[in-house]
């Protein structure tokens, strides 16, 4: 480096070192090159996660749909496709994204919630299968496309997840058709001449233990037996990842989950008399651990007894802590050598909101102004939930390629981007 940069001190870089996340790259140098904050992804880790999912079951007709709302970057989606994952889309925008990344209609499942007829048409005209999630949406589909094939998302009764805001089954959730309404489903299918091609469910996000998942699958399969001739049954997503690796939180046992699923799938196929396709829909699992969000420390101060580390990682850049009180491990990369043991600090962003807190009362190594922080496990629901709140620029995304290159896969917003859709009128 011309400015004599010799690399940073990783004050607590054990997790990324163990994962080999940065390869030969230096996180501080990457921030200098691509700007701060910065979403970074590891191609190796992304591909490894895709393979874990692809290989978790041996049942022949097993399909993994990447739920791309977790990460809508075209390069990430394309790598997932190359690794043999299909795709789930929640909106016409996500359909456009997965198609731009190379997916074809038969590889896509549209699972929307409360959409207009126009949005259904957007998918149906491309030949994309739709899974509707209420009786009224099923009837709307039937009015628009009588005689066509459709899937229905059921609410299997038991939810799971890390926060009440991500539990998507059970009586309190807005999703799915209640199991008690199977007769009404049949009635609409008959009345509109529809063919039920598939059933789906999604019980919630980030469970680490497959207990509730397996129970709901049993409920779903009991319902499926009432519908002969299904092409597919979709178990949904929600596979968790350990967000507390610094405390040695163990990963989910995907091997065991796969063995349980295999037994259930082959059992059902034998009973049902047809080798239905079974689908899982991981979102977070695909990219979360493949992403680190880097940001810079700009201010350090005490308010009373609390020491605040002021960074450029606002809630607009990573929303999960503010929205769900989510924990993300943080690593510190410094230009200065280690200067004392850990101390409890609050790491905050640059947004004008008291809730703009990345980590509360978190023991971290001594931090200095100018240090770079690495927020781990930020590859899913990171960039995809980011916004321009406070007229902040969303960061660039960079992929650390398996061949050692660092490739920009999304440019940082510009000031022009922020104003692009506004129209000044005569005032």
Ligand X SMILES: *Cc1c(COP(=O)(O)O)cnc(C)c1O
Q: By CB under 6 A, name the binding residues for ligand X.
A: 67, 69-70, 88, 90, 111, 202, 205-206, 236-239, 281-285
Cα separation of 410 and 145, whole Å? 38
Q: Kind of pairing, strands 396-400 and 406-410?
A: antiparallel
Task: Output the smallest distance, CB 103 to ligand X, in A.
Answer: 16
Task: Output the smallest distance, CB 7 to ligand X, in A.
Answer: 35
Distances (CA, A) of 69 to 29, 73, 199, 320: 30, 10, 20, 14
Torsion of CA 135, 62, 265, 174, to 10 degrees: -30
Q: Which residues contact 404 (CB under 8 A, 6 or more apart)?
A: 23, 24
Task: Output the smallest distance, CB 108 to ligand X, in A.
Answer: 13
Closest-CA residue to 17 (of 8, 169, 85):
8
The residue (of 17 and 209) whose beta carbon lies closer to ligand X is: 209
Q: What are phi and psi of 346, to 5 degrees?
A: -110, 125
Residue nearest to ligand X (CB): 283
Task: Output the smallest distance, CB 206 to ligand X, in A.
Answer: 6
CA atoms within 13 A on the CB side of 318: 32
Catalytic annotation, pick one of 8, 57, 86, 352: 352
The residue (of 34 and 103) whose beta carbon lies closer to ligand X is: 103
The residue (of 88 and 329) whose beta carbon lies closer to ligand X is: 88
Q: What are phi and psi of 276, to 5 degrees?
A: -60, 155
Task: Output the smallest distance, CB 293 to ligand X, in A.
Answer: 17
The residue (of 203 and 297) whose beta carbon lies closer to ligand X is: 203
The residue (of 240 and 295) whose beta carbon lies closer to ligand X is: 240
Residue given tokens 């004599």 in the structure block: 4
Name the DSSP letter for residue 181.
Answer: G
Q: Note if 57 is an active site residue.
A: no
Name the DSSP letter for residue 239.
Answer: B
Task: Output the smallest distance, CB 256 to ligand X, in A.
Answer: 18
The residue (of 208 and 294) whose beta carbon lies closer to ligand X is: 208
Cα separation of 306 and 169, whole Å? 39
Q: What are phi and psi of 67, to 5 degrees?
A: -85, 95
Q: Give catalytic residue positions.
A: 352
């Amino acid at each position: 480096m011309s400015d004599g940069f010799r690399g940073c001190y990783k004050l607590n870089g054990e997790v990324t070192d163990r994962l080999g996340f940065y390869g030969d790259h230096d996180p501080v140098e990457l921030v200098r090159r691509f700007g701060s904050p910065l979403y970074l992804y590891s191609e190796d880790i992304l591909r490894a996660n895709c393979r874990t999912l692809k290989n978790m079951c041996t049942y022949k007709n097993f399909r993994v749909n990447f739920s791309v709302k977790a990460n809508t970057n075209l390069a990430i989606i394309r790598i997932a496709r190359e690794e043999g994952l299909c795709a789930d889309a929640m909106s016409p925008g996500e359909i456009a994204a997965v198609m731009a990344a190379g997916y074809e209609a038969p590889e896509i499942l549209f699972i929307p919630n409360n959409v207009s007829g126009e949005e259904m048409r957007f998918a149906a005209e491309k030949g994309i299968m739709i899974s509707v999630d209420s009786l009224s949406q099923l009837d709307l589909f039937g009015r628009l496309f009588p005689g066509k094939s459709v899937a229905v998302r059921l609410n299997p009764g038991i939810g799971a997840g890390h926060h009440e805001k991500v539990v998507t089954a059970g009586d309190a959730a807005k999703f799915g058709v209640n199991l008690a309404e199977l007769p009404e489903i049949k009635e609409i299918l008959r009345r509109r001449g529809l063919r039920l091609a598939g059933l789906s469910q999604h019980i919630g996000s980030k469970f680490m233990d497959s207990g509730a998942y397996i129970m709901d699958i049993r409920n779903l399969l009991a319902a499926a037996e009432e519908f002969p001739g299904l092409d597919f049954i979709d178990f949904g997503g929600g596979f968790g990842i350990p967000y507390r690796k610094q405390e040695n939180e163990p990963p989910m046992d995907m091997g065991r989950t796969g063995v349980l699923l295999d037994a259930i799938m082959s059992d059902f196929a034998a009973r049902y008399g047809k080798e239905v396709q079974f689908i899982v829909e991981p979102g977070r699992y695909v990219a979360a651990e493949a992403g680190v969000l880097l940001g810079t420390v700009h201010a350090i101060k005490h308010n009373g007894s609390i020491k605040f580390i002021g960074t450029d990682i606002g809630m607009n850049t990573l929303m999960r802590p503010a929205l769900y009180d989510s924990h993300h491990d943080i690593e510190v990369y410094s230009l200065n050598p280690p200067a004392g043991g850990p101390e409890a600090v609050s790491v905050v962003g640059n947004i004008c909101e008291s809730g703009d807190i990345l980590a509360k009362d978190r023991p971290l190594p001594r931090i200095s102004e100018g240090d770079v922080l690495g927020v781990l496990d930020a590859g899913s629901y990171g960039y995809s939930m980011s916004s321009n709140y406070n007229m902040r620029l969303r960061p660039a995304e960079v992929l650390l390629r398996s061949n050692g290159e660092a490739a920009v896969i999304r440019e940082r917003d510009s000031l022009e981007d922020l104003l692009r859709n506004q129209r000044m009128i005569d005032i």
